[in-house]
Structures are given as C-alpha cells and as structure tokens.
Amino acid sequence: MQPSSIDRTISVVVFVMAVFCLVSLFFARSSIPVGMRVPGMDGTPQVLVTANRLPYEAVIAGRPVSGSGVASAIGGTWPGFRGPNHDGVSRENKTLARHWPETGPQKCWEVTLCEGYASPAVRDGRVYVLDYDEAVGADVLRCLSLDDGREIWRAGYPVAVTRNHGITRTVPVLFEDCVITFGPQCHVACWDAVTGENRWLMDLRQRYQTTVPRWYAGQCPLIDQGRLILAPGDAALMVAIDPKSGAVIWQTENPRGWEMTHGSIAVMHHAGVRMYVYCGSGGVIGVDAETGELLWETMQWPVQFAHTPTPVPLPDGRIFVCSGYGNDVGALMLRLDETARNVSIERKFSPKEFNSEQQTPIFYNDHLFGIRKRGGGPMVCMDVDGNEIWNSGRDRFGHGPYLIADGLLFMMSNFGELTIAEASHEGYRRLASHLVFEDGHDAWGPMAIVNGYLLLRDMTRLVCLDVAARETSVGEGPL
C-alpha cells in the first residue's frame, strides 16, 4: 500500500524534529560537573580549577594547592628558555664530571608528566614546569623541590587541549617574584613564584586573534629589560607587557597578517640598537626594543610547514636562522647593514650543509654548535661563516636538545641517551654516554642545569641528574 500524504507529512515533521534535537544536544553546554583528578603515582596533589569552558571565553585560574615538597637550599638559577643569557650556555663556576661510572651519573629523582616537551626553569631551589592535567582539562604550573622532585604547589586554569604529538611545549620564565607561563592554546599567565597565586591571565586568541600553531604554542616567553616580550601574530606582530600588571607597553603593527610560529624571540644588539628578532609565518623581523617599531623585515624566509628554532645573533650584524622543513634551503645567514634598518641574505645553506627541525644552535667561543637534522642528527661545529669544521660521525642525536656547561657539550638523543663531549672547535671527542630513559622516546624538551644538577625530560618523564665532578658534589646533592 502506498503511504498517504498525511503519513508523509508526519514522517517529515518527525525527521525535522529529530535533527533539531540532535543539533541542540551537540551545541549545548554541558551541565555535568568535571571531577577532580585522583592523585597519581608520583604523589602529587589535586589542583583546584573551574569547569572547562568553550574556546575564547574568559577563563579563571584556580587557587594553588599545596604539596609536601620543600624548596631546596641548592643555589643557582636557570630562569627560562636557553638559560640566563638566552644562548644555551651555563656560565656557573661549577666543575662538572668528565667521566661517569658504568651506571651513569646519579639520578636524584624522577617525576611523571603529561605527554609533551615543556621543560623547567629553576630558581631558589624550586623547579617550575608547565604540565597538563587531562583528567580535569587544565594547564597546570607545577613547582617542585630541587631536592627530591616533590611538589611544593600546583596551580592551573581550565582549557581544552587534546593530544597532538604531545601537548606541552614551552619553558616558563622567571622575573623577580613571579613566574610567567605560555600555554598550548596561547594563554599567558603570571604566578607568584613562592605561593603559586595567579596575578593575571591573558588569552592571546581573545586579545589578539592569535592563530594557534599546528602543534600548539611552542613560543617561550621572553623577559628583557623588565618587560615581557611576546609575538602573538595576527592583530599584533609583537608586544611588550609589564610582567607585574599585564598592561601593554607597546605593540608592533602587523599589516601583512603574519601568524605566530613555534619559534621564540631572540635579543640582538647591532649598530647601537637593541632589537628583538623573530621568525614569523611570513619571514624574519627585527623590532626596536624600546619602542616596538618595526626596524626591518625579510620575506625570503617564509615558514615551510612549520618553524621552531630561534634566530641566533652573531657578530657584525649577522643572524643565523634554520629550519627542518624544505628541500632546497635548510638555513640562512642574514646580515644587517650599519643602519640596522636593512637586511640581506649573505648565504644560503642546503639541508645537507645544515638544517634543524627542533633545536636552536649555540654560538660559543666564536663557533656555532648544532644538531643537523639531515643524516640522523649529528652534532656539527661550524665557524662564524657557517663552514663545517667537524661533525660527530656515528654519534647521532635525532631532534634531541643540547646545552653547554663548563666547556662540555651535553647532548640528548631522541630515545634518551645522554652524551657529553668537549665543546671545542678542534674536533669531536665523546667523553661519556649513558641511557637516562629506559624505553625513552621523543626526548626533545630543552635541558636546564643548575649548580651541577641537570634536568632532562622525555615524552612523559622529568629527571634530575647530579653531573658535578665527584670531588665537588659530596654532601651537596639532593636528599
């Protein structure tokens, strides 16, 4: 029997109502409360945050929650990304071990983290690392004791982030009595360094229409001359902010509409001008540190798929920039003229000569040291012109991090093997190596070192190693 017109009308009405109900349910805001995380195996407490909110709504940080940790008496500081001078070099007067026993350097403690690459800043015996609590959906700043890794406090704010080859990627920065963090979804927050109380919280997506990079924010906040320097992209190419209040001091216009990359900002001096150098989505810029004026730009280094390494300022107005994507050019040597207003390309490097996907090369004793992506990740030493002097041969490190301390190169491989070698242009000489992370992978987070204690991480673990020379470390190590 054929259906009547009334039956067909009823069917259509029922179908439309069903679709309306499904759409309403999909877009409705959930009224189900979010439960708190049960403390994990590492003994850390819960963090008090409000429920998740939709993107671009104002979020409110929760109150800090105290743990059982106590700040260490160990001195020294690693205040942010690439250390005290933003160059990946420790200048502490601390003698470090040139050889290790078969068991490797002493592991003082280990803490479990959410998947990612966020690494610590250290001061006054406290270790600060930005983590993510998947159970409650919150960015969480954790303050740990340098003695034993126990949590002193944690504080956070709600934000929805899903795993995208890890979640966290940035290093906090310390300024006077506060800590500043840059979250995966571009939330910038200021916290009291001792108590964990939140002072201000800024969503760059809301304020500057910032486009979150494809693998979340990788830009580490920069403190320079008492100002917080950020590169939001979109509505502002760069901004200077008062770290204490969150008030904007100046901002750089962005007429070309460049977007934020995963890279961070470098400080440079040339021709009597202090400037900030940054690789945005459309090229490289130099911004006057005092006024925020755009001094120069080049569009001959646009992002190819993604960009992470920070520009490396060199003598005589040179700037070394590199990336791990692109088949033709792996790096550029730029040069500023005597006016600090014009930039030119002095040299192009093929990926075979040098490229880097994750890490920023180190300029040390008039030479560049960096892990080259091409060929599995050998360490390469170049002169100031970029000519290769030596490479590490069969010692390969993938995308791993590195730093220099006490004349030593500390290099970590993808899977968590730590190697030390002399930081010398005379040749590569491996002194010791040790597998730090059993079953380690993606050990890409930047290193930090304070008073002979080296902080390393792989995808889910943060460890502290005592790498001080044996005769100077007795009685000084963490409990």
Which has the minimum average pLDDT: 189-193, 246-250, 325-329, 407-411? Answer: 325-329
- Kindly report the length of the chain: 479
Q: For the ranges 2-11, 408-417, 419-428, which has the lowest average pLDDT?
A: 2-11
Separation CA 328–CA 307 (nearest Å):
15
How crowded is residue 175: how many other Cβ atoms within 10 Å of its Cβ? 19
Query: How do residues 338-357 score in pLDDT, each as one tens digit?
Result: 999 999 999 999 999 999 99
| Residue 334 token pair | 């730029």
Instruction: Return mean pLDDT, the chain.
Output: 90
In sign, the C-alpha dihedral spanning 23, 24, 29, 35 is negative
Say what the pLDDT of residue 56 is.
65
For 196-247, where are the E strands, in sequence order? 198-203, 222-224, 227-230, 238-241
Q: Is the pLDDT of residue 466 over 80?
A: yes
Distance CA 217, CA 189 (A): 14
Q: Give the pLDDT of residue 395.
A: 98
Percent of the chain surpassing pLDDT 90: 84
Per-residue pLDDT tens digits for 369-406: 999 999 999 999 999 999 999 999 999 999 999 999 99
pLDDT one-digit tens code per residue, 279-308: 999 999 999 999 999 999 999 998 888 999
Per residue in 157-206, pLDDT tens? 999 999 999 999 999 999 999 999 999 999 999 999 999 999 999 999 99
Q: Where are the domains of the chain?
A: 63-466
The residue-averaged pLDDT of 195-224 equals 97
- Tell which wins on pLDDT, 291 or 10: 291
Contact 313, 319 (CB under 8 A): yes
pLDDT digits (tens, 9 = 90+) for 69-120: 999 999 999 999 999 999 999 999 999 999 999 999 999 999 999 999 999 9
**Cα–chain-centroid distance for residue 188?**
13
CA pair distance 20, 192, nearest whole angstrom: 48
**CA torsion sign, 289 to 292 to 295 to 299?**
positive
Of 424 and 479, more confident: 424
User: What is residue 315's DSSP assignment?
Assistant: G
pLDDT tens by residue, 105-116? 999 999 999 999
| Strands 312-314, 318-322: pairing kind | antiparallel
Superfamily classification of domain 63-466: YVTN repeat-like/Quinoprotein amine dehydrogenase (2.130.10.10)
pLDDT of residue 327: 83
Distance CA 123, CA 75 (A): 7
Contact predicate 320/361, CB 8 Å: yes
433, with CB counted inside 10 A (0-12, 13-18, 19+), is middle
Tens of pLDDT, residues 417-434: 999 999 999 999 999 999
CA atoms within 13 A on the CB side of 193: 21
pLDDT at position 304, please?
Answer: 84
Buried b (16+ CB within 10 A) or exposed e, 109-140: bbbebbbbbbbbbbbebbbbbbbbbeebbbbb
Contact 325, 357 (CB under 8 A): yes
Q: Token pair of 31, please? A: 């009224």
